[in-house]
Chain A
Amino acid sequence: MSETLFPQSSTLGQPVPRYEGRAKVTGEARYASDVRLARTAHAYLHMSAIARGTIEAFDLAAARAVPGVIDILTHETIGDQIRQTPAIYQGGYISDSRRPLGSAEIANWGQPIAVVVAETFEAAREAAHRIDVTYKLHPSLAAGMNSPSATTQTLEPMTIGVGDFDAAYAAAPVKVEAHYSTPAQHQNPMEQFATQCVWESDRLTVHEPSQYVNNVKFGLAEQLGIGAERIRVISTYVGGAFGAKGFLTQRTALVAIAARRIGRPVKLVATREQGFTVSGYRAETRHHVQLGADSEGRLSALRHEGWELTSRGDAVAMGAVSMTARLYACPNISARVNTVATDRSTPGFMRAPGEMPYAFALETALDELAHTLDMDPIELRRVNDTRTEPVGGLPYTSRSLMRCFDEAAAAFDWKRRTSQPGSMRDGDWLVGWGCATAFYPTYAGNSAARVRLSANGRVHVSSAGHELGQGMYTMMAQVAAEELGVPVERVTVSLGDTDLPPAIVAGGSSSTASVAPAIMAACDAIRRRLGVDGASPAEIMPAMEASGIGVIEEFAETRPHGVPPDSMKGLYRGKTFPVGGVHLPDRVQFALGAQFVEVRIHALTHEIRVPRAVGAFAAGRIINPRTVHGQFVGGMIWGISSALHEHTEIDDRNASYINANLADYLLPVNADIIDVKAIMVPEEDRLVNRAGVKGVGEIGVVGVAAAISNAVFHATGRRLRDLPIRLEHVM
């Protein structure tokens, strides 16, 4: 197998330690709120305390009286300084369609309604708490999906119909039908939502952690009504993002306006609680799944309908039936997606945004089918494995699903499993083993990069891609080192700055797949300059020496397969998004994997533990097994967390978040995690992109929740179809 893979190299595929490792262990890495600007004033947000209504009056007297207060921004004081602009879902930039401090209207709990600016953080905080607001309450849909008068809307473009589902389901000898649900969850990156803005004459610099600096730049220009060339956004390091920092939020324009009003730099660090409504989140979902199969387990009918909570202002849906309908061979499919509009802040993206909840539903239903058939769940996946997706008949560019199942099953020692629920009890511990498929679409988008080669063998790579912790600095250095035949230690990298060549949003597991080809193309241009087009890496430096040239710098932009040519201008306007997965005319492209978990439930205390998890993933070429391993393992722990820990709890009276802090919003800590093993299954796919990379940031999350619920069933005989699964559910 290995001889068919990309050629072995000295750099690519090697576990090179992190480029920025020393900076991160010494405290030298400067995150947005670490940047020190002279004469900085501090901002503090005041958030709405009701679900829906109107601000009748502000009493700001006590706040203004706090020593050190400089300015207070409300919808009354800033007027029309911030323009109404379309949301990202409407072709714009901002993560929801509400104009920041746009009016007296309250659309959700936790909406920023005032900003205090003061000499110190302490004064700003005190004054923000002294703001008194008189609200006029309006009837609200505060009970989320349970709100009786919430409007449900079917998203017709997401509807899928193949064959005749109803007839096939009616005729199927074996059937499974069930409803599933997943809760609201929040990304909670360790770094809070910070923004620093400084104006120098008419030029604005923004320091803000971002997955897409050019989105912030162009969106802010639109909001402020100024030329984008006057704005620079810098995000050198990001303290975790997970989708929360993908797009412009309301806070940035507020800090920019505040800094302009007082003529000083202004720094905002939203509190952890405020962060729950500053950006988007994973909204509640519900699912209805019906599976029909023959006695051998071959699917004849598959139906998956999803419901997703959204805000009244923005119909946002992740809609991953587009993927669950295409995973397995099945001639009769019906799938659709609905939004349920309520009085909550607009949802957004959270690591494996649609894939996590929709995979939970489908992969749990498949386990129910396997149990009904008395069939090994791996074998159920095998008889339904396919080389073409069943909706449009398009080929997978590559698909190593069963190899992942076989490798993970061997590592897990699955053959020792006895299928009867409750049959593997170990003393006081009920033991269950479960598995599920992991999938994530392979995306990429337009990106640009600049590469500079010096005669002394030093290389500098620059691109406005982003380091979120996935290892972007390291991997981009490896790509350039490989292409130009220099040691990786000779390569320096700049990322996360709008002054650099623009790149795609760091989302959809697409960064490496998008930016690596741009670096490769820039290296091609260097070869052409040297007159050694097509030369091997080893020939580059000798050619450079022979040329007598001191420095060569080349720029390149790349457009992945399936992206229309006229989209390239979007790259230069902060509008480049991931393309691929199921959205190509001629093929589908996915990374695939298999998740296995052991669950132990104590018979007396009902404590639920996951002592071990094994995942095997085939995701094309692995640039750096060290950083990729971190992505897989981290993703799998996110999966454990999605099943057992995370649940944003909501007060039905005012749609407030009850547990908006890191003590009550449960996240895994070190003691929760014992043995998590990630296997990288070799896979070559030369079609997906020039780098052969499928993306690894999100797939690790997908399927774990189903594997856990399947293991809980195996341990207890109880099928739990609603996340999270807590000890009170297994009593």
Chain B
Amino acid sequence: MTLRVNGSTHAVELDARTTLLDALREHIGLTGSKKGCDHGQCGACTVLIDGSRELSCLTLAVSSQQREVTTIEGLARPDGDLHPMQQAFIDHDAFQCGYCTPGQILSAIGCVSEGHADTPAGIREYMSGNICRCAAYPNIVAAVMQARDQMAGG
């Protein structure tokens, strides 16, 4: 099958049971998306599919064909400039171990584009599908607010 990831087409031969997460990590070599539970409970595997945030561990690779998948590796511009959300996570120290971070960032982009980032309370609610065991939550909220304003301006 072929998968469109970060603007590139990948031809892969996969087991019908292979999740999009495992296809990305084990077959395409994009290991930025993380496996934290494999059950859709932690959010570490969050990617954007056709611009919407989805759990790649609960998405079969076969059902992702003909759709545009964006992973953490696809956010920065080719010249290396970071996406405002990536920069905001650095600016606000919105991570510690970094393992949930790719999922947090992609989920945060989804949160903003859905219009759920108007208030800190809204961000907290709509970012609650992404567990951060280091508990950088207050800094994540601050980062989303900064990037929200920049994404609107840009």
Q: Do chains A and B interact in one complex?
A: yes
Chain B positions within 8 Å of A21 at CB level: 89-90
Shortest CB distance B80–A (Å): 9
How long is the Cα–Cα vector from A31 to B34 in the complex, in angstroms?
9
Q: Residue among B22, B36, B105, B140 with the most chain A CB within 10 A?
A: B36
For the complex, is A662 an interface residue (Cβ under 8 Å from B)?
Answer: yes
> Assuming A26-B76, A27-B102, A190-B34, is B123 touching A670 (CB within 8 A)?
yes
The answer on a CB contact under 8 Å between B34 and A239 is yes
* Cβ 8 A contact of A192, one of B35, B71, B90: B35
State in angstroms the CA–CA spacing of A190 and B44 once bound together. 8
A29 in the interface, Cβ–Cβ < 8 Å?
yes
Supposing A24-B101, A122-B15 touch, asked if A670 and B139 sit within 8 A by C-beta, the answer is no
| A47 at the B interface (CB under 8 A) | no
CB distance from A274 to the nearest CB of B (A): 11
- A15-30 contacts to B, CB under 8 A, are 17-18, 20-30
Is residue B132 within 8 Å, beta carbon to beta carbon, of the partner chain? yes
CA distance in complex: A216, B43 (Å) = 30
How far apart sit A60 and B127, CA to CA, in the bound complex (Å)?
Answer: 44
Which chain A residues border B102 with CB–CB below 8 Å? 25, 27
Asked whether any CB of chain B lies closer than 8 Å to the CB of A633, the reply is yes
Contact A190 B99 (CB under 8 A): yes
Minimum distance in angstroms from B14 CB to a CB of chain A? 9
Nearest-Cβ distance from residue A474 to partner chain B, whole angstroms: 10
B-chain residues with CB within 8 Å of residue A28 when the two chains form the complex = 32
Q: Give the residues from 1 to 52 in chain B that come closer than 8 angstroms, CB to CB, to chain A.
A: 15, 17-18, 22, 25-26, 29-39, 41-42, 44
For the complex, is B65 an interface residue (Cβ under 8 Å from A)?
A: no
Give the residue of B25, B99, B128, B141 whose beta carbon is less than 8 angstroms from that of A239: B99
A18 to B95, CA, bound (A): 10
B114 contacts chain A at the CB level, 8 A cutoff: no
- Min CB gap B34→A, angstroms: 7
Complex: A238 Cα to B131 Cα, angstroms: 16
**Distance in Å from the Cβ of A80 to the closest Cβ of chain B?**
33
Q: What CA separation (Å) do A27 and B39 show in the bound complex?
A: 21
Residues of the A chain whose Cβ atoms lie less than 8 Å from the Cβ of B129: 669
List residues of chain B with CB within 8 A of the CB of A271: 38
Say yes or no: A36 contacts B31, CB within 8 Å: yes
Report A-chain residues with C-beta under 8 Å of the C-beta of B36.
190-192, 272, 662
List of A residues within 8 angstroms of B101 by Cβ: 24-25
Question: If A36-B29, A239-B34 touch, does A670 touch B97 (CB 8 Å cutoff)?
Answer: no
> Using Cβ atoms and an 8 Å threshold, which residues of chain B touch A36?
29, 31
Q: Do B96 and A469 have beta carbons less than 8 Å apart?
A: yes
Nearest CB on A from B73, distance (A): 5
Q: How far is the CA of A28 from the CA of B125 in the complex (A)?
A: 29
Contacts of A638 in B (CB 8 A): 135
Q: Mark A1-45, 1 if CB is under 8 A from B, else 0.
A: 000000000000000011011111111111101101000000000
Where chain A touches its partner, the secondary structure class is loop
Given known contacts A189-B133, A673-B137, is B35 in contact with A17 (CB within 8 Å)?
no
Given A26-B76, A269-B35, decide whether A673 and B134 contact each other with a Cβ distance below 8 A.
no
Within 8 A of B (CB), among A608-640: 626-627, 629-631, 633-634, 637-638
A26-B75 CB under 8 A given contacts A634-B134, A662-B41? yes
Query: Does chain B have a CB within 8 A of A470?
Result: yes
- Asked if residues B73 and A26 are in contact (CB atoms below 8 Å), the reply is yes
For residue A502, CB closer than 8 A to chain B, the reply is no
In B80-123, the 8 Å CB interface with A consists of 82, 86-87, 89-91, 93, 95-102, 105, 123
A641 to chain B, nearest CB (A): 8
Q: Would A661 and B128 be within 8 Å (CB), given that A25-B90, A191-B34, A191-B97 are in contact?
A: no
A414 interface hit (Cβ, 8 Å): no
| A656 part of interface (Cβ distance < 8 Å) | no
Are A630 and B134 in touch, CB under 8 angstroms? yes
The answer to whether A661 and B136 have CB atoms under 8 Å apart is no
- When A17-B90, A630-B96, A671-B124 are in contact, do A25 and B135 touch as well, CB less than 8 Å? no
**Cα A192 to Cα B26 with chains together (Å):** 16
Quick check: B75 and A29 within 8 Å, CB to CB? no
Are A272 and B89 touching (Cβ within 8 A)?
A: no
Instruction: Tell me which residues across on chain B come within 8 A of A674, comparing CB atoms.
Output: 124
Minimum CB–CB distance for A127 against chain B, Å: 13
What would 11 A/B residue contacts be, using CB atoms closer than 8 Å?
A189-B97, A190-B100, A191-B36, A191-B97, A269-B35, A469-B96, A470-B96, A634-B96, A668-B137, A670-B123, A673-B135
B residues contacting A by CB (< 8 A) are 15, 17-18, 22, 25-26, 29-39, 41-42, 44, 71-73, 75-76, 82, 86-87, 89-91, 93, 95-102, 105, 123-125, 127-141
Known: A237-B98, A238-B97, A673-B135. 15 other contacts (CB 8 A): A17-B91, A20-B98, A34-B31, A36-B31, A120-B15, A240-B97, A240-B133, A272-B37, A470-B96, A630-B93, A630-B136, A633-B135, A634-B135, A669-B131, A670-B140
